[in-house]
């Protein structure tokens, strides 16, 4: 995969990464000390952010990507073109990019089928010196979604 230079990204992707970075500051992560911020770009140009929210029982923990998706859903926004993700570890900046976990990939794939668009996932390290972009279909090959159930979710 290609490494992108921040200053050479399209303006909307630079803005998404900046918003994801801001959202990262709101992470509730007393257990892992790993902060993640995400910023979704809706098809109508709105940016919706999310951050990770941990729980002592671990299972109920929610990732930043799903936090942004659920927040957008609560606002009636379900169609997206891009998401940016950035993270920071307890010992400081990450060296590699922060990529979505498997559950987040599945949720983003569902959002892509609702959107009728193969969502771009922009992943960065803390300092934004390593930036990788991939389509959700690349990150979750052979995915199962609403289309497989012959359900048109684009009307929701």
54 carries an active-site annotation? no
Query: Is-contact 94 54, C-beta < 8 A?
Result: no
What is the percent of the chain where pLDDT is above 90? 94
Average pLDDT over residues 64-75: 98
Domain count, the chain: 1
Does 149 score more than 90 pLDDT?
yes
Provide the CB-side half-sphere exposure for 107 (13 A, CA).
19
Distances (CA, A) of 81 to 10, 32, 56, 97, 108: 13, 30, 33, 20, 10
The rounded distance, in Å, linking the Cα atoms of 114 and 3 is: 29
How many residues in total does the chain contain?
156
| Maximal CA-CA distance, the chain | 46
C-alpha 89: how far from chain center: 17
| 151 bridge partner residues | none
**Residue 52 domain-assigned (yes or no):** yes
For residue 65, what is the domain's CATH number? 3.40.140.10
Closest alpha carbon to 142 in 115, 114, 102? 102
Query: Residue 1: which pLDDT band, with cuts at 50, 70 and 90?
Result: confident
**Residue 59 domain-assigned (yes or no):** yes
**Residue 1 domain-assigned (yes or no):** no
Does 55 score more than 80 pLDDT?
yes
**Residue 62 domain-assigned (yes or no):** yes
The pairing of strands 80-89 and 120-124 is parallel
Average pLDDT over residues 69-79: 97
**Residue 120 domain-assigned (yes or no):** yes
Question: Which residue of the set 13, 19, 54, 65 is catalytic?
Answer: 65
Q: How much is the pLDDT for 40?
A: 98
The rounded distance, in Å, linking the Cα atoms of 141 and 109 is: 10
Identify the domain containing residue 95 by its residue range. 6-155
């Amino acid at each position: 995969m290609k490494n992108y230079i921040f200053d050479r990204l399209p303006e909307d992707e630079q803005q998404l990464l900046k918003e994801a970075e801001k959202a990262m500051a709101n992470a509730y992560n007393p257990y892992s000390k790993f902060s993640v911020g995400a910023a979704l770009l809706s098809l109508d140009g709105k940016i919706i952010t999310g951050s990770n929210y941990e729980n002592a029982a671990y299972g109920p923990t929610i990732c930043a990507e799903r936090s942004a998706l659920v927040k957008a859903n609560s606002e009636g926004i379900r169609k997206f073109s891009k998401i940016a993700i950035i993270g920071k570890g307890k010992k400081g900046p990450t060296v590699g990019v922060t990529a979505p976990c498997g559950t987040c990939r599945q949720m983003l794939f569902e959002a892509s089928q609702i959107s009728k668009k193969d969502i771009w996932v922009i992943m960065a390290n803390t300092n934004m010196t390593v930036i990788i972009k991939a389509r959700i279909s690349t990150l979750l090959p052979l995915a199962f979604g609403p289309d497989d159930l012959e359900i048109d979710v684009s009307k929701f």
